[in-house]
Chains A and B, each alone.
Chain A
């Protein structure tokens, strides 16, 4: 456990990828199995279970620290694990007790009964330094972020084993912690693990944003439409449907298995294929809005009622495997032909085939993108352009797939409340609740915490501190004087908000230091932006 905490400490405070790589290689070389495999899992976020719950941590700390002081500390630190790490009382005699190894800790929690979890956790925390406590709480609640993404970790592992990152990617989702087979293979001691019989996720192909400047004139040859396939960009959840004779599963874009949330969809699948598409609400062949889809997301066990009310389906736009044959090496034009052929024989009403659009020229293409904002297309958020000769590769290859999202909507709102951020922004007032005018009163309509530069954040933070008029716990109410130009993807009805409106992905587009607050938008204007419900 000591070595693991030290590893995290080094990674957390190191910015350069080169140093991070060196630190991890050093750890892998000097740490025994299965500890190092568990460390990989913790960093890559592939641990399958919480060792203990946040609620337990909170209960334990409140048994030891005054509630008010805890609340004030938490507000300042901005993060539970670190607050607990510092507040936990140091035990009286810490005569260099050796902590159990990482794998002992993981395995102990894995097998522990509920009552034992608490006892074991307290014993560990009592004997740890603040940095070790932080590592344990992060590990146990699976909230570890040390500036090493899963992708970077795979690259580091590839370098460790002198192999290619694609090899690691292809294996990754078929392997499980503590990765003895993977590490054995990387060190040349074992055969390459065989994952062909497992139902696994294949890393998806991603798009770059289309460069509008290049398109609109200066570089006429940027897009030659006859080389590209144009489709709607759907506004749902990117998924990969894997169905093999060994089983079937639905994965998110990042490889999380989300099958349990969509049993209704998987029950209808009885073919052999790996499909790439967008998960949407599809009822009687009609696509529903993102707002409807939202009710299905993050539901671990959706009720029968919910499944019946908001049935989901997939708009399929690509295939990685058809009838057991991998097609990733074929160009898109071929894959599309095979997909259409296969789809023609299919009779699953939850699966729609993404239509191919045929713009004749750039003006036509631009007009199509404009149409994407029409309210009829409430599940469309722009256009996708894919090179007809592109093979299916994981990652984000240059100039193969392009996305062209419609322009965001905008409104001028007034800052009403501010809260401190967390993580890197703790202690900065970086979360802003904003509102618009209704009958001479400001009503809050959303919260934004992005879109500004670090320099602007400092200015906003200073403004908040100087213009605070009241405090409600961690929330500061500010003078109603600062206009924020807020950009957002769409507006929806909401029963949860007093204003009756919910904005999707609001962010600060511009800070209008110059604009008087009474010139901000009114609620009626914002309500007009809500599309008619289909």
Chain B
């Protein structure tokens, strides 16, 4: 990696001979989000646009009101569940590894091809590979490298420019193995057998991952659910992901029977009136942010579970090495540290300032 200067020159030479264009010449950031000019398409726009590529179903990436949307089938199902008739006016379902020409009306040299590759973040999550004029750009969306039975594993995709997220882009972030965190929850259940363990989880992704991790460690009792989580779990089940026995808290007549049980709820419900009806609650929260004490305190979590659907710092660096794109653009999160480290590793790195992503969503 120490010879980036001479490699730059070489790349310039090759592109001038082959008449290729670098992604910086055909990708731009606009107020609505990242924009691919030759295809006339936004990627994960945060305002309604005419044409949108959606990497995954989290609300800060998949927003309602776009006219035409292309996404993986699972992402489309998630958007439909959340936004119903507001999800889109027109859509295209694109499976992983299937190329799609985004502008078939253009002459061949001007055509842009989109291919989705698994991102390992949540069900249906994809990296978007855009190919144009002989160059390749990968937009990672959100991604992780850990084992996650609820979605397909991240696929390393060679490219000229790799746009990476940096949600946990600081060396303090080292996520422990999920088994270790779930074991903390199970141990707490043994130490406090009479307490209802209320676990805060985001409805899409984290919820189902926590359930499966519990099942993998042999917890096969029914898991009780806040109403806001049920539909998404059903959607996962319809995609062939077995979650075991789930019961809505609302269907439990005697709430006292929830003592010693696990109840999952969205984070907003943890300190809400809703949780007051549960018996002798012990509050846990599953999120990558729980590694930082103050964040756990802000959430009032007595039992912080460090479980993330994003890369931690070592995984981010490992991915840069694996993908090995000469250019790295860093977006939402702690860009500064990752740009600094990527530069030290010999990549041409820069921050790509995109507004509108929620840093809390993990």
Contact = CB atoms under 8 A, between A and B. Distances in A.
Interface in A1-56: 12-15
Contacts of B291: 86
A65 B171 contact: yes
A427 B301 contact: no
B292 A73 contact: no
A423 B295 CA distance: 9
Contacts of A86: 171-174, 291
Interface in B147-199: 170-174
A73 B171 contact: yes
A15 B300 contact: yes
B292 A426 contact: yes
B172 A77 contact: yes
B183 to A, nearest CB: 14
A426 B337 contact: no
Contact of B170 (A13, A15, A76, A79): A76
A83 interface: yes
A78 B302 contact: no
Given A69-B341, A77-B172, A15 B302 contact: yes
Contacts of A82: 172, 292-293
Nearest to A81: B293
Looking at chain A's contact residues, the main secondary structure is helix
A511 interface: no
B334 interface: yes
A441 interface: no
Interface residues of B, number: 24
Interface in B279-294: 291-294
A353 B293 CA distance: 49
A68 B338 CA distance: 11
B349 to A, nearest CB: 14
Interface in A64-111: 65-66, 68-69, 72-73, 76-79, 82-83, 86-87
B297 interface: yes
Contacts of A76: 170, 172, 292, 334
A176 to B, nearest CB: 30
Contacts of A65: 171
Among A66, A68, A76, A424, the one with the most B-chain Cβ atoms within 10 Å of its Cβ is A76
B308 interface: no
Given A13-B302, A13-B303, A13-B304, A77 B297 contact: no
Given A68-B340, A77-B172, A87-B172, A423 B294 contact: yes
B336 interface: yes
B72 interface: no
Nearest to A421: B294
A214 interface: no
A427 B304 CA distance: 17
B295 A83 contact: no
A72 B336 contact: yes
B331 to A, nearest CB: 16
Given A72-B170, A86-B174, A87-B172, A12 B337 contact: no
A510 interface: no
B298 interface: yes
A425 interface: yes
B208 interface: no
A423 B293 CA distance: 8
B296 A13 contact: yes
A522 B293 CA distance: 41
A30 to B, nearest CB: 13
A83 B294 contact: no
A77 B292 contact: yes
Given A15-B300, A427-B295, 18 more contacts: A12-B293, A13-B303, A13-B304, A14-B302, A65-B171, A66-B341, A66-B344, A69-B337, A72-B334, A76-B172, A76-B334, A77-B292, A83-B172, A86-B173, A87-B171, A424-B294, A424-B298, A427-B292
Interface of B: 170-174, 291-298, 300-304, 334, 336-337, 340-341, 344
Query: Which 10 A-B pairs give the minimum distances between C-beta atoms?
Result: A86-B172, A426-B294, A72-B337, A73-B172, A13-B302, A73-B170, A424-B297, A69-B171, A424-B294, A76-B170
7 contacts: A72-B170, A87-B172, A134-B293, A424-B294, A425-B294, A426-B292, A427-B294
